[in-house]
A and B are shown apart, each in its own frame.
Chain A
Amino acid sequence: MTVAAPNYELVQQDGLETSLLEVSMGPHHPSTHGVFRMDVKLDGETVVDLKPVFGYLHRNHEKLAENMSYLASMPFTDRLDYFNSMTNNWAYALAAEQLVEIEIPERAEYLRVIMSELTRLVNHVSLVGFFVNDLGALGTPLLYAFREREKILDLFEQASGARMMCNYFRFGGLRCDVPDGWLDRTREVVDRFPKFLDEYEKLLCENEIILSRTQGVGNLSKELAISAGITGPMLRASGVNYDIRKVDNYGIYERFKFRVPYSEGDVGDCYDRFMVRMLEMRESIGILRQALDGIENGPIMGNAGKVFKPQKSEAYGRVEAPKGELGFYLVADGTTQPYRYRVRPPSFINLTVLQDMCIGQQVADAVIILGSIDIVLGEVDR
Chain B
Amino acid sequence: MSVLGSGIFKGMAVTLKNFVGSYFDKERLTTNEYAWQANDKLPERAGDYPKEEAEQLSDTTTVTQYSRNFPMLLHDAGEPMDTVRCVACQICERECPPQCIYIEKSTEKKERSGNKAQFYPATFDIDVSVCMSCQICVEVCPFDAIVMNSQFELSTPSRFGELLLRRDDLLKSNDYYYKIHPEEASARDKRIADEKAAKEAKKKAAEAAKKKAAEAKSKSEAEAKAKEEAEAASKPTEPSDTPPAESTATPSTEPPATPTTEPEKEGSAE
A residues near B (Cβ < 8 Å) are 68-69, 71-76, 78, 140, 144, 147, 150, 154, 157-159, 161-163, 165, 167, 170, 172-177, 179-180, 199, 202-204, 206-211, 300-301, 304, 306-308, 336
Bin chain B's interface residue count.
35 or more
With A75-B136, A202-B11 in contact, do A170 and B268 touch (Cβ < 8 Å)? no
Q: Total A-B residue pairs with C-beta atoms closer than 8 Å?
A: 113
A163 to B66, CA, bound (A): 10
Residues of A within 8 A of B134 (CB): 74-75, 78, 165, 167
**B161 in the interface (beta carbon within 8 A):** no
Q: Per-residue CB proximity of B172-184 to A under 8 Å, as 1/0?
A: 0000000000010
A68 to chain B, nearest CB (A): 6
Instruction: Name the interface residues of B1-59: CB closer than 8 Å to any CB of A.
Output: 2, 5-8, 10-11, 13-15, 17-18, 28, 30
Q: Which residue of B10, B67, B133, B263 is within 8 Å of A176 (Cβ)?
A: B263
Contact between B97 and A68 (Cβ–Cβ < 8 Å)? Answer: yes
Given A68-B97, A170-B266, A304-B266, 16 more A-B residue pairs with CB atoms under 8 Å apart are A71-B136, A71-B268, A72-B97, A75-B132, A76-B97, A159-B66, A161-B133, A162-B67, A176-B262, A177-B263, A179-B260, A203-B10, A204-B11, A207-B7, A211-B7, A306-B266
Please, how many angstroms separate the alpha-carbon atoms of A336 and B267 in the complex?
A: 12
Q: Is B68 an interface residue when CB atoms closer than 8 A count as contact? A: yes
Q: Check if B115 is an interface residue, CB within 8 A of chain A.
A: no
CB neighbours of B269 from chain A (8 A): 306-307
Q: Contact between B14 and A199 (Cβ–Cβ < 8 Å)? A: yes
Neighbouring B residues of A165 by C-beta, 8 Å = 132-134
9 closest cross-chain pairs (CB), A and B:
A161-B68, A75-B134, A206-B7, A176-B263, A72-B97, A307-B268, A158-B66, A203-B14, A207-B7
In the complex, the chain B residue whose C-beta lies closest to that of A72 is B97
For B261, the chain A residues whose CB sits under 8 A away are 177, 300
Question: Which residue on B lies nearest to A309, using beta carbons?
Answer: B268
Specify which chain B residues have a CB less than 8 angstroms from the CB of A161 in the assembled complex. 66-68, 133, 135, 148
Question: Does B258 belong to the interface (CB within 8 Å)?
Answer: yes
B2, B67, B134, B258 interface centre (most CB from chain A within 10 Å): B134
> How many angstroms from the CA of A365 to the CA of B260 in the assembled complex?
52
Nearest chain B CB to A125's CB is how many angstroms away? 15
A140 to B30, CA, bound (A): 15
28 contacts between A and B (CB under 8 A): A71-B267, A73-B97, A75-B97, A75-B134, A140-B15, A144-B18, A157-B64, A158-B66, A161-B66, A161-B68, A162-B133, A165-B132, A165-B134, A167-B134, A170-B266, A172-B266, A174-B263, A175-B263, A177-B260, A179-B183, A179-B260, A203-B10, A203-B11, A300-B261, A301-B263, A301-B266, A306-B266, A306-B267
Residue numbers in B under 8 Å from A300 (CB-CB): 261, 263
B264, CB-defined interface residue at 8 Å: yes
Choose from A69, A172, A206, A210 the contact partner of B268 (Cβ within 8 Å).
Answer: A69
Nearest to B68 among chain A residues (CB) is A161
Q: How far is the CB of A195 from chain B (nearest CB, A)?
A: 10
Residue of B6, B30, B134, B267 with highest tally of chain A CB at under 10 A: B267
Closest to B2 in A: A206
Residue of B nearest to A208 (CB): B7
* B152: min CB distance to chain A, Å: 11
B95 at the interface (CB under 8 A from A): yes
Answer whether residue B108 sits at the interface, using C-beta atoms and an 8 A cutoff: no
A173–B13 Cα distance when bound, in Å, is: 46
In the complex the two chains form, what is the Cα distance from A64 to B14 in whole Å?
Answer: 48
Q: Please measure, in the bound complex, the distance between the C-alpha atom of A25 and the C-alpha atom of B208, giving whole angstroms.
A: 78
Residues on B with C-beta less than 8 A from A158 are 64, 66
B240 to chain A, nearest CB (A): 26
Most buried by A among B68, B97, B262, B266: B266
Which of chain B's residues has its CB closest to A156's CB?
B66
Is the Cβ of A150 less than 8 Å from the Cβ of B30? Answer: yes
Question: How distant is the Cα of A288 from the Cα of B212 in the complex, in angstroms?
Answer: 56
A71 to B14 Cα, complex, angstroms:
47
Instruction: List A contacts of B263 (CB < 8 A).
Output: 174-177, 300-301
Most buried by B among A74, A159, A162: A162
Question: Using Cβ atoms and an 8 Å threshold, which residues of chain B touch A162?
Answer: 67-68, 133
B254 within 8 A of A: no
